[in-house]
């Protein structure tokens, strides 16, 4: 399927605010978003977030909230007071419909709200161990949770490259797909298993590619990001 260029989101996975901010500054113009996750936010809080945001790149604040509806909604209200507000925030779909409805109400469309369906680190055995119906595959659980997230008013999901086609089928073309597990051809896969090249993920319909180490650990992160961007358009 022809698709507009996927946006590139670099994951700033570090506990050091200055290091993250410096990398964000260097990558401004070379990537479309930066991702601040638990590691950086828990270590540096609002200070680290602001330092990164000063680079002027929209921030995906990847904190994966999962609690009772009121607590998640109030947590999101606190996050919406960050200045500048994050461009994307997320919750776990397994928090259930009441929680996702409350989350959607809390962000009031001011930021994109997406859901984590099943963690991609969960295999079939793990899914059974936490009591998910073993008669269904993890694919079916992902499909159910993505559909539920959409029905609750969320804007999209985080999903693996492998899930893209199914999420598109179930949730339609306008549902935002944010896709980690991206590895440029020939690069180190590290601990990622279900991987795709940037180009393959784009062709499968990914809106946003989340890419960490292939950019952040590169000798020249700006050149690595530019090379990935070229692979998407060339
Ligand atoms: O370095 P790498 O490209 O593997 O980084 C991917 C980023 O995406 C990390 O921040 C990781 O936590 C995140 N992520 C992931 N798989 C998921 C959800 C998030 O790799 N299912």
For atom 21 of ligand 1, which residue has the closest CA?
120
Atom of ligand 1 minimally distant from the CA of 13: 10
Query: Is residue 221 one of the residues assigned to a domain?
Result: yes
Query: Is residue 2 one of the residues assigned to a domain?
Result: no
pLDDT at 84: 97
Q: pLDDT tens digits for the chain (234 residues)?
A: 445 899 999 999 999 999 999 999 999 999 999 999 999 999 999 999 999 999 999 999 999 999 999 999 999 999 999 999 999 999 999 999 999 999 999 999 999 999 999 988 888 888 899 988 888 888 999 999 999 999 999 999 999 999 999 999 999 999 999 999 999 988 888 777 778 999 999 999 999 999 999 999 999 999 999 999 999 997
Query: Is residue 119 one of the residues assigned to a domain?
Result: yes
Report the CATH number at residue 220: 3.20.20.70
The CA-CA-CA angle for residues 63, 67, 68, to 5°, reads 145
pLDDT at 232: 96
pLDDT at 186: 81
Closest CA to 64 of 157, 191, 146, 142: 157
Task: Give me the number of domains the chain comprises.
Answer: 1
pLDDT at 13: 96
pLDDT at 122: 86
Query: Is residue 168 one of the residues assigned to a domain?
Result: yes
**Which of the residues 35, 51, 64, 193 is marked catalytic?**
64
pTM: 0.95
Ligand 1 midpoint to CA 158 (Å): 10
With H, G, I as helix, E, B as strand and everything else as coil, classify residue 39. helix
Pocket test for ligand 1, best of 9, 11, 31 (most atoms within 8 A of CB): 11
pLDDT at 167: 97
pLDDT at 107: 98
Q: Do residues 138 and 124 touch, judged by C-beta distance below 8 A?
A: yes
The yes-or-no answer on residue 64 being catalytic is yes
Pocket test for ligand 1, best of 142, 177, 210, 221 (most atoms within 8 A of CB): 210
Closest CA to 68 of 108, 106, 24: 106
pLDDT at 189: 81
Q: Do residues 145 and 168 touch, judged by C-beta distance below 8 A?
A: no
Atom of ligand 1 minimally distant from the CA of 191: 4
* Residue 208, domain extent: 7-231
pLDDT at 234: 72
For atom 13 of ligand 1, which residue has the closest CA?
180
Q: Do residues 12 and 40 touch, judged by C-beta distance below 8 A?
A: yes
pLDDT at 115: 98
Query: Is residue 1 one of the residues assigned to a domain?
Result: no
pLDDT at 155: 98
């Amino acid at each position: 399927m022809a698709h507009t260029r996927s946006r590139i989101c670099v994951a700033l996975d570090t506990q050091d605010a200055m290091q993250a901010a410096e990398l964000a500054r260097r990558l401004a113009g070379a990537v479309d978003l930066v991702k601040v996750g638990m590691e950086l936010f828990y270590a540096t809080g609002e200070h680290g977030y602001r330092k990164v945001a000063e680079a002027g790149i929209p921030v995906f604040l990847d904190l994966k909230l999962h609690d009772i509806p009121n607590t998640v909604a109030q947590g999101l209200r606190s996050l919406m007071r960050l200045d500048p507000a994050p461009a994307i925030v997320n919750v776990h779909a397994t928090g259930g419909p009441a929680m996702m409805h409350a989350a959607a109400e809390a962000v009031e469309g001011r930021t994109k709200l997406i859901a984590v369906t099943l963690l991609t680190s969960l295999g079939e055995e793990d899914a059974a161990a936490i009591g998910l119906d073993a008669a269904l595959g993890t694919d079916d659980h992902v499909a159910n949770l993505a559909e539920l997230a959409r029905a609750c008013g969320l804007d999209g999901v985080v999903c693996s490259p492998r899930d893209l086609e199914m999420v598109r089928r179930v949730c339609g073309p306008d549902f935002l797909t944010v896709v980690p597990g991206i590895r440029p051809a020939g690069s180190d896969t590290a601990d990622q298993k279900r991987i795709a090249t940037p180009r393959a993920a784009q062709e499968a319909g990914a809106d946003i590619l989340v890419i960490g180490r292939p950019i952040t650990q590169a000798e020249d992160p700006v050149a690595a990001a530019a090379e990935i961007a070229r692979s998407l358009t060339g």
